[in-house]
Amino acid sequence: MTRSLKGKVAFITGAGKGIGKAVAVALANEGVNIGLIARTQVDLEEVEREVKSLGVKSAYAAVDISSQEEVNQSIIKLTDMLGPADILINNAGIGSFATLLDMDPEEWKRIIDVNLMGPYYVTRAVLPQLIEKNGGDIINISSTNGLNGAATSSAYSASKFGLIGLTESLAQEVRRNNIRVTALTPSTVATELAIKTNLIAENNNEKYMQPEDIAEVIVNQLKLHPRIYVKTASLLATNPF
C-alpha cells in the first residue's frame, strides 16, 4: 500500500524550469507544500503561481547554490515560511562540453561548484531538519554521465560521479535516522540544457525522456513504504533513435 504525501514539505533546487519545475508540480498535485530554489526569480515566480493554484503552500528563494552563505539563508527563509523539510530534491545543475584542454579551468570549476558543491551545501543545511524528524527523503539527480565518462564531459562527469559518491556515503550515515538517500541517473532528458548543448534537437525531442517522466518516478518512489529505499536507479529512454 502506497503512502500519502499530503501535508509534507519538499525543498527543490533547480525548480525554475525543466525537471525541477515538473517535480514541483507533480508533488503539489499530491498535496505537498513546495519550497522552490533556483537562480532566476522570474522563473520561480511563475512556478510558484502554478504550484499555489493547485491548493498548496509555496515559497521561493532566488540563490546561487554554489554559495554556501546564500544557500543557508535560503533554507532559513523557506523553513520560516513552510516549516522544516520532509523531502529534498537536489536537481540544480549546469553543463557544458569540451575536451579537457579546450575547456577553460574556471568553467570546469564552475560546473563542479554548482553540480557537486551545491548539493553538498543544500544537504548540509537541510539534513538537521530530517534528523530531528527521524525520517525523510533526499533524492539527488545525477546522470548516466555519472556512471560512464565520455569524451568532452570531464567536468560534468566528474561532478555527477561525485554526486553518486556523496549519495552512497550519506545514505550509510543516516539510514539509522530513517532517512532515505537516493541517486537517480537519467540519460538525456528533453530540457533546455539538453537543447542548448545540442544533445538533442529542439524539434525532435518527443522520443527522449521528458521532465514529467522523471517527476512521475520521484513521486512513486517517495510513496514507497519507509522501510525500503532505492539506492540508485538508471532511467533510460526506450527508443531515442
Indicate which residues carry an active-site annotation. Answer: 156
Cβ atoms of residues 145 and 139 within 8 Å: no
- Residue 1's contacts (CB-CB under 8 Å, 6 or more residues apart) are 225
- Which residues are CB-neighbours of 211 under 8 A, at least 6 positions away? 18, 19, 21, 22, 23, 189, 190, 191
Among residues 119, 141, 124, 114, the alpha carbon closest in space to that of 39 is found at: 114
Contact 150, 193 (CB under 8 A): no
Q: Which of 121, 118, 98, 130 is nearest to 197 (CA)?
A: 98
The angle at the Cα of 213, spanning 211 to 218, to the nearest 5 degrees, equals 95
